[in-house]
Amino acid sequence: MKKINLTIFVIILSGFCFPLLSQENKLIVKTEEGKDTISKYIYGHFAEHLGRCIYDGIWVGEDSPIPNTRGLRNDVIEALKGINLPVLRWPGGCFADSYHWKDGIGPKENRPPIVNMFWGNVTEDNSFGTHEFLDLCEILGTEPYIAVNVGSGTVKEASEWVEYVTSDNDNPMSRLRKQNGREQPWKVKFWGIGNENWGCGGNMDASYYASLYKRYATYCRAEYRIASGGLNDDPAWTETVMNSTKNHQDLIQGYSYHHYTVCNTWEKKGSATNFDENEWFKTISKNFQMEENLKEHMAIMDKYDPDKKIGLYADEWGNWHDVEPGTNPGFLYQQNTLRDALTASIYLNIFNNHCDRVKMANIAQTVNVLQAMILTEGSKMIKTPSFYVFKMYKVHHDALLMPLEITCEDYVLNNQRIPALSASASKNKEGQINITIANVNPEKSIPTDLTIDNEKYRVTGSEIITADKMNAYNDFDKDEMVYIQEFKSYKQKGNNIQVTLPSKSVVLLTLSEK
């Protein structure tokens, strides 16, 4: 047993273990020390032209027998409204750097088809383009985040896209937009300048991309321009981009960071549903390890941007498992279990606790791809365990981060150990304090002593996400196995709350003034 900071989560020791110092698990919420706001954009999402995310998942076309609004699936829209989607990133991903936006505007019968060279080599008819995406965002009440084509595009193409979407001046692009049926410009403030340009975005080196970024950003007149980050294990890329833009900070408002959790190897990642406790532990430990990697990149940003004017945008993250048997390997379709719910909780707690620098995060992806919120099968739709975590965590949107002090036992397996608990807390505009806690041990309930440093608060709401089995998931034509339920395993006396956190669970406690 040892006392840990929220920023030091992963302790995987080989041949050496620290002794447990105490049997108590404690959380202390410091209600008067909050100073940073948890941006709602940390709860963003990512929708790429990949597999069945867009086509079948979001877009079915106006003539589909599946109920739709201007071609957009009604059931998916209603589900996404339930998690208050704050921002949606599109069209990629790798697809972004092969996408030419003018192919996706105007009458659908005149739009040329495109072969999706990165994801399955399937042909798309371009029926879902800029207007359809921004229509979706307006229906959802979400802000768009558009990634422009740097890898195979041009500065002129990118700058014209920004102008087409946002300009209210009289110019060729605004005229073209009006010709295509949209009189008023859209309000799109987030623009990514390329994606993964170290790889599918052009196989560039850092210095070349940094110079190219400044050129694109100069002509893409947007409120927030986001630079493409390197591999998560490549801090040199971050160093190069930050150093190159240090005298041009008017051109960069965000820096992209990607982190995927792969249980085994990239060649054989492991099943999304058929796994044992060893794979559970490996996945959860790698979730925790993300924080140390994140801190390494943030430290470099701090060196060049000590005032934290440039946000870190974790605009791709989540678990990456093997595709479901019998599905197209290029479509990245995977099921989603209670393990993925715990992953979402850990990542979101980490992002919350670093909200002074992390200003956006976009889970990959929204529908039918990777750690999705929603899965569809023809006219059928299900909400995944990860969906319910995002629904539970809505309470943190634009709330004031409350610092936490945590002392917890370890979850130990095969002489390796990680903290058993992950948590974050915030105070909303109504003065309520919301505390989210994950118990990652799949076998053991953990009694926890929760202290609020102010006696005026009492528990007024409580929820839990858990299931009997660690690989429980929601499936078509079956009752849901993983969802939000009422939580009752706590007792409050004064400013102390005794909570028993069930194994493999995510818990929300809401406190209001007495």
Q: Which residue has the tokens 């990777």?
A: 370
- Residues 6 or more apart whose CB falls under 8 angstroms from that of 481 comprise 467, 472, 473, 474, 475
Look up 24 and say whether it is catalytic. Answer: no
> Residue 241: in which H helix or E strand, if any?
helix 235-244
Helix axes 74-81, 130-140, angle to 10 degrees: 50
Burial 199-216 (b: 16+ CB within 10 A, else e): ebbbebebeebbebbbeb
E-strand stretches of 234-383: 254-261, 311-319, 358-364, 374-377, 380-383
Q: Which residue has the tokens 């992209």?
A: 256
408: β partners: 2
CB 78, CB 84: distance < 8 Å: no
The dihedral of CA 151, 92, 311, 166: what is its sign?
A: positive
Of 132, 160, 291, 316, the active-site residue reads 316
406: β partners: 4, 27
Of 124, 163, 196, 463, the active-site residue reads 196
Look up 78 and say whether it is catalytic. Answer: no
AA letter at 101: W
145: β partners: 89, 190
Two structure tokens written together for 262: 């792969």
The residues annotated as belonging to the active site are: 196, 316
